[in-house]
Amino acid sequence: MLDHPETQFSLTHRRLRLDTLVRLRWLAVGGQTAALLVVHIGLGYPLPIGLAFSLVAFSAWLNVFLKIYSPASLRISERAATLQLSYDILQMSGLLFLTGGLGNPFAFLLMAPVMVSATALSAHNTLILGILATFCASVLAVFHLPLPWPGGSGFNLPAVYSIGVWIALVSTLGFMAVYAFRVAEEARQLADALAATELVLAKEQHLNALDGLATAAAHELGTPLATIFLAAKELSDEFEPEDPRAEDIALIRSQSERCRDILRKLTSLSSDEDATYQTMKVSQLIEDVIDPHRGFGIKIAVSATGQGPEPVGSRNAAIRYGLGNLLENAIDFAETTVDVS
């Protein structure tokens, strides 16, 4: 499940693996089960154990369902991850409602899904989860069952203390969410920069490989091209100048010479001292492109316009070959003259 990227890298690592959320939920199920057993059986504190274990069992069955019907390597969308983390906040809020609200020492576990979102999801989804957690904390500060306490006597926190716990929870939630998001965002940016660098290096290696292939191809083509050139030279000696076939042989010979020149340039592309990498004027570039096409019955007229000094650039083989292809197309369709300006 891949989105169209802002860059090729920026959104891919924002997708959580489903297996990551499932494993974290199993950890929560184990911890909640242990806490309920210790409080209810070990310490003998009264609490609605049936409803509490029902919430824990629902999370366990949800994990079983996700594990069966989805592959472990699946990377879910941000929307799906946000929905699952929202469920985790609501499930934890339900347990806290049954066990004393914000007076429960485990109330700060409401922040856990928001922290997961801050490290893996976008700021928008993290904000949504933060608002949901704040809303649940606000409700729990007012509405909740009594905190489990021995002897059947309730333990009621003063209102000022409950408000202080709420403020501390919300403040900590905001600070840790922003801090975790910024740290994770810097790590993502560093990963993007590393991936972009690796991509550039891979392209450079590909270009180096093409350079070697071009040199190898030039060496391989050199022998058959030399044979064609020699055959054309010998055939040109067998025909009289007025023979119509002599013109075709001369064309083959001139084009084979041109191919030899191109191959010589290809074999020297990797040399820093080659003239390919020397600077040249635009007029010289145009002349190099036009020169091989003279003498074929089509007139090539060159005109220059503009003011100021003539532009000077590096002698780039790709530009020369590209302009040569354009000129060849023009010659193929021209009747008498090709204008180059």
> According to the model, what pLDDT value does residue 275 have?
47
3-state class of 148 per DSSP? coil
Domain residues for 332?
275-341
pLDDT in the model for residue 163:
85
pLDDT at 89: 92
Residue 191 domain flag = yes
Whether the predicted pLDDT of 310 surpasses 70: yes
Q: Is residue 211 part of a domain?
A: no
Q: Which residue has the higher pLDDT, 167 or 310?
A: 167
User: Which of 111-115, 138-142, 181-185 has the least mean pLDDT?
Assistant: 181-185
Per-residue pLDDT band for 6 (boundaries 50, 70, 90) equals very low
Do 183 and 323 lie in a common domain? no
> Residue 336, SS3?
coil
Report in angstroms the alpha-carbon separations of 204 from 20, 194, 214, 269: 36, 15, 15, 15
> What beta strand segments (E) does 206-321 contain?
279-281, 299-302, 312-314
Residue 25 and residue 128 in one domain = yes
Query: Is residue 239, in this structure, part of any structural domain at all?
Result: no
Range 70-89 average pLDDT: 86
- Domain contains 214: no
Tell me which H or E stretch contains 337.
Answer: strand 337-340
Let me know whether 176 and 81 are in one domain: yes
* Mean pLDDT along residues 330-340: 83
Question: Which pLDDT band, with edges at 50, 70 and 90, does 1 fall under?
Answer: very low
Q: The CATH number of the domain where 279 resides is what?
A: 3.30.565.10
Mean pLDDT taken over the chain: 79
- Looking at per-residue pLDDT, the higher value among 13 and 151 belongs to 151
As a whole-number percent, the residues of the chain with pLDDT over 90 amount to: 12
Q: What's the average model confidence in pLDDT over 138-165? A: 79
Task: Tell me if 246 is assigned to some domain.
Answer: no
Asked if residue 187 is part of any domain, the answer here is yes
- Among the ranges given (18-27, 52-61, 175-184, 272-281), the one the predictor scored with the smallest mean pLDDT: 272-281
279 and 147 together in one domain: no
**Residue finishing a domain among 174, 201, 228:** 201
Q: Are residues 91 and 173 in the same domain?
A: yes
**Are residues 293 and 192 located together in one domain of the fold?**
no
CB-based contact 19:73 (threshold 8 Å): yes
Q: How confident is the model at residue 330 (pLDDT cuts 50, 70, 90)?
A: confident
- Do both 179 and 74 map to the same domain? yes
* Count of the separate structural domains present in the chain: 2
- Name the residue with higher pLDDT: 207 or 103: 103
The last residue of a domain, from among 144, 170, 201: 201
Residue 8 pLDDT > 60: no
b/e per residue 242-277 (b: at least 16 CB within 10 A): eeeeeeebbebbeebeebbebbebbbebeeeeeebe
| pLDDT higher than threshold 60 for residue 7 | no
Per-residue model confidence (pLDDT) at position 90: 93
Identify whether 306 is part of a domain.
yes
Maximum distance among all Cα pairs of the chain, rounded to whole angstroms: 126
User: pLDDT tens digits, residue range 19-77?
Assistant: 888 889 999 999 999 988 988 888 888 888 889 999 999 999 998 998 888 776 788 88
Report residue 114 as tokens.
Answer: 């928001």
Same domain (yes/no): 21, 133 = yes
> Among residues 147, 178, 201, which one ends one of the domains?
201
State how beta strands 279-281 and 312-314 pair: antiparallel
Mean pLDDT is highest, among 36-40, 177-181, 216-220, for: 36-40
Mean local confidence (pLDDT), 146-162: 74
Is 70 exceeded by the pLDDT of residue 276?
Answer: no
Please tell me the distance from the alpha carbon of residue 82 to that of residue 126, in angstroms, as a whole number: 8
> Does 128 share its domain with 44?
yes
- Whether 315 maps to a domain, the answer reads yes
Closest by CA position to 106, among listed 118, 96, 115: 96
The residues, ordered by sequence, that sit 6+ positions from 200 with a Cβ below 8 Å of its Cβ are: none
